[in-house]
Amino acid sequence: MGETRERVTRADVAKLAGVSETIVSYVINNNRYVAKEKRQRVEEAVRLLNYRPNNVARALKGKRSNQIIFIADHITNEYFSSIVSEMDRYAYDAGYLISLCSNRNTPEFISQVISRQFDGIIVSSASFPTEYVEQFSQAGIPVVVFRRWRHQRAVERVAYLGTGLYTGAREAVRHLINRGCRNVVYIDRISAKGHVSPPDDMRFSGFVDEMEANGFAVGPESVVCGCRSQEEVTEEVKRRLRTGSRVDGIFGRNDMLACIAMTAAGQIGIQVPEQLRVIGFDDSSISRLITPGLSTVGMKKEKIAKAAIDMLTQMIAGSQPENQDFETVLIERESTAVPAGF
Amino acid sequence: MGETRERVTRADVAKLAGVSETIVSYVINNNRYVAKEKRQRVEEAVRLLNYRPNNVARALKGKRSNQIIFIADHITNEYFSSIVSEMDRYAYDAGYLISLCSNRNTPEFISQVISRQFDGIIVSSASFPTEYVEQFSQAGIPVVVFRRWRHQRAVERVAYLGTGLYTGAREAVRHLINRGCRNVVYIDRISAKGHVSPPDDMRFSGFVDEMEANGFAVGPESVVCGCRSQEEVTEEVKRRLRTGSRVDGIFGRNDMLACIAMTAAGQIGIQVPEQLRVIGFDDSSISRLITPGLSTVGMKKEKIAKAAIDMLTQMIAGSQPENQDFETVLIERESTAVPAGF
DNA sequence: TTGAAATGTACACTCGTATGTACTGTTTAT
DNA sequence: ATAAACAGTACATACGAGTGTACATTTCAA
């Protein structure tokens, strides 16, 4: 007891059951005729020895590892963990285990992933180079990329899944405009390095496009960016809301930023939603816990997760699935409500 | 282009470089004398063919998969995702990739994990049976269990890491008492099935023990449990806070619950912290975003993650590390502040 | 009765890599 | 000069499983 037991292999089972290793294999995989009596002896031996076929050996022989890897930018994030959690459910039922890795964006990282012989890869990272995706594809590994598929050129074993970042952002901005906002400000992410969202950031593009489609110009005055901490965001928002400002709507890149903005407004006596309407993105739990309730844009996480796994398993099975784009859901709460008598 | 390329193997490299496969192996692993000139030829061939040693074959031969699995109860949770994220960092640098799986708690699940030949397992699940942990140990796989190690019997290849749930809960309750609370209520988790935290729940035990250590009795009136939704919690909290109630402190099992309680209080006109003090657990982002700021108990996530990986790598290397218990950090914000002139 | 079909078993090879061991040729110490 | 140490290479085997193929035995139809 407590000692490392030698690994139990097929050979041990065969010996105990008094049959050949081949028979054991057939019983385990249930894919050949085996005499009933021998089958029972094998099953008995498997139970007695607590034998479990080694998945690594199977992977080597069968070219299938039954593992999927999910590569994301920032896995610390309610949205991602929900997605992962859901994927885990579906994947496990399909016989897969999920590995998780934040994007390292180096050739060594790509080699690591390829050499580990994953059956499939799911990438959710705005900054993940298409070049790497194609390397996966060429290595024979199917990839599902969380990205809008329009304008993506078709590559074998690569499927695109749009999660609605762009259209969701437009929906949010449209909602603010419909609620009467004329001077909407976008709050960009916090980055320790003070970076600004790249122009291919879907939420930002959605903001810009919807603003312009409604005849509003977007300039530096309508974007808060480059902040390196919650405090900086708070200060910057307050600065823009000072008396005389015409800002009447705020769209936060995520719910956290929207909350910070909303709180900042409260601190200088600006009423939400009466004087300022705020909307976030992600439908994270904070949006329903804060007061006033934060309007936000939700993504269909369960469906997205299921679709990702489905698309991947299809590709693993050899067929090429259709790309998919998902709709978002606008969730209206108090922060954008029309005040009574408005 | 786009076609599945045959997998590049050592044999291909050997052929192109005009050497034996053995030499290729020696160059790759850099563990034998190889003539400089041949070494260069091999390196050249590796580059040309874009060869990457197959990790599955290596795992089979070398008994090391360079993969770790993290088994948790609910991976949808800011605390867990932070831990995972940090572990990913440390593990990757140590050459490991992390798999993630929510606890299934069935023998089949255990078999799945064992058969996949992980080098190590990290378990963070209150409901994970010790029996299973011992099965891992017997299969020769080191396990780090997020659990207080007192009263745990020593098992080879099993190390315990206390994250401070128990002491942290006591600290939170003590803080409320120090702030003058005499009637503290504990808010238990929301469960779709209306379940109640089992008696071995660390936070609940901490609450009970600290209350009793201070001479306060714990009864049904001091515990809100069995709620199946945010709304139920809100209603129940309001019910207990109605005029005439003596409740003056609330300890939420996590920050979300504490927020719900705090909001509920606000809805019936009870001032926090003047009339009611509230503290949560987890130091999740919501605690700094809500108004008033929520006092909470933080865990040393980075240290915990690093320690988990360290302990695991030590065990993988064959030595038995010391168990560790981590302290929590009390984070005081407005929700338990002493009002001016108190 | 005879041959074909169905049933049942096992050898031998394969997946891609690591390495113990043996072997050859060269250098160094005695 | 001779042995010992070293440099450099390659064969053969092992890791744990899956399966093509060949072979043996039984069942069944004609």
**What distance in Å separates residue B217's CA from the closest CA in chain A?**
31
Asked which of A268-272, B189-193, B305-309 is least confident by mean pLDDT, the reply is B189-193
Q: Which residue of A has its CA nearest to B291?
A: A263
Q: What is the mean pLDDT of residues A287-294?
A: 94
Q: Which residue is nearest to nucleotide D15 (CA to C1')?
A: B61
The string of pLDDT tens digits covering residues A154-181 is 889 999 999 999 999 999 999 999 999 9
CB B94 within 8 A of CB B309: yes
Does strand D come within 7 Å of the CB of A213?
A: no
Identify the residue with better confidence: A283 or A342.
A283
Query: What CA–CA distance (Å, rounded) separates B105 from B88?
Result: 24
- Chosen from A55, A117, A315, A333 to mutate, greatest number of chain B CBs within 10 A: A55
Does strand D come within 7 Å of the CB of B32?
A: yes
So what's the pLDDT on residue A1?
A: 42
So what's the pLDDT on residue B4?
A: 53
Cβ-Cβ contacts under 8 Å for A59 (sequence gap 6 or more): A65, A66, A117, B56
So what's the pLDDT on residue A152?
A: 75
Q: How far is the CA of B32 from the C1' of C21 (A)?
A: 14
So what's the pLDDT on residue A339?
A: 64
Task: Say which amino acid occupies A214.
Answer: N
Check pLDDT > 60 for residue B340: no
The structure tokens listed for B54 are: 């197959």
CB B101 within 8 A of CB A92: yes
So what's the pLDDT on residue B240?
A: 95
The string of pLDDT tens digits covering residues B267-325 is 999 999 999 999 999 999 999 999 899 999 999 999 999 999 999 999 999 999 999 99
**Beta strands B296-299 and B328-331: pairing type?**
antiparallel
Check pLDDT > 80 for residue A4: no
Are residues B2 and A156, on separate chains, in Cβ contact within 8 Å?
A: yes
Check pLDDT > 60 for residue A135: yes
Q: Which residue of A has its CA nearest to B259?
A: A289
The structure tokens listed for A303 are: 């469906």
**SS3 assignment, position A248:** coil
So what's the pLDDT on residue B2?
A: 43
Query: What CA–CA distance (Å, rounded) separates A78 from A296?
Result: 14
Backbone CA torsion sign across A39, A40, A41, A43: positive
Query: What CA–CA distance (Å, rounded) separates A259 from B50?
Result: 48
- Is the peptide bond between B199 and the residue preceding it cis, with omega within 30 degrees of 0? no
Q: What is the mean pLDDT of residues A171-193?
A: 95
Residue tagged 């110009």 (tokens): A217
Q: How many CA atoms lie within 13 A of B326 on its CB side?
A: 22
Identify the residue with better confidence: A2 or B233.
B233
Nearest to A288 by CA among B238, B263, B282: B263
Does strand D come within 7 Å of the CB of B20?
A: yes
So what's the pLDDT on residue B152?
A: 75
Q: Which of A54, A69, A75 is nearest residue B115 as measured by Cβ atoms?
A: A54
Does strand D come within 7 Å of the CB of B136?
A: no
Q: Name the percent of chain A lying above pLDDT 90.
A: 85
Highest mean pLDDT among A185-194, B48-57, B198-207: B48-57
The string of pLDDT tens digits covering residues B263-273 is 999 999 999 99
Q: How many CB pairs under 8 A join A and B?
A: 153
Q: Which residue of A has its CA nearest to B318?
A: A4
The structure tokens listed for A279 are: 């909307």
Q: Which nucleotides of D are covered by protein (CB under 7 A)?
A: 7-12, 14-20
Q: How far is the CA of A323 from the C1' of C28 (A)?
A: 70
The string of pLDDT tens digits covering residues A7-49 is 899 999 999 999 999 999 999 999 989 999 999 999 999 999 9
